[in-house]
Amino acid sequence: MADAGPPIALMALGLVLWLAVSATLAGISVQTIGMILFLAGLVWLVIELVQSRTAVGGRPATVVREEPVVRERDRY
């Protein structure tokens, strides 16, 4: 299962910087940095979700039940 925590935290930080902070540091807009962080978090989240839905071969991951290793003796 995908761990969606870090991308969502990055998106939240980006949204706060983009929408709630109105400052400029040495000619760099904090809103632009926030937008970039939000978009990076969104891309990261999409990649995580796509990777969690597919297995190595590109097919959906399935759970295979294996036969028990120890079997009862056959009666003669």
pLDDT score for 43: 96
pTM, rounded to two decimals: 0.65
* pLDDT over 60 at 57, yes or no: no
CB 43 within 8 A of CB 9: no
Check the CA dihedral 44-49-55-59 and report its sign: negative
* pLDDT over 60 at 41, yes or no: yes
Specify the higher pLDDT residue, 28 or 14. 14
53-73 mean pLDDT: 64
pLDDT score for 9: 94
Q: Domain residues of the chain, as ranges?
A: 1-76
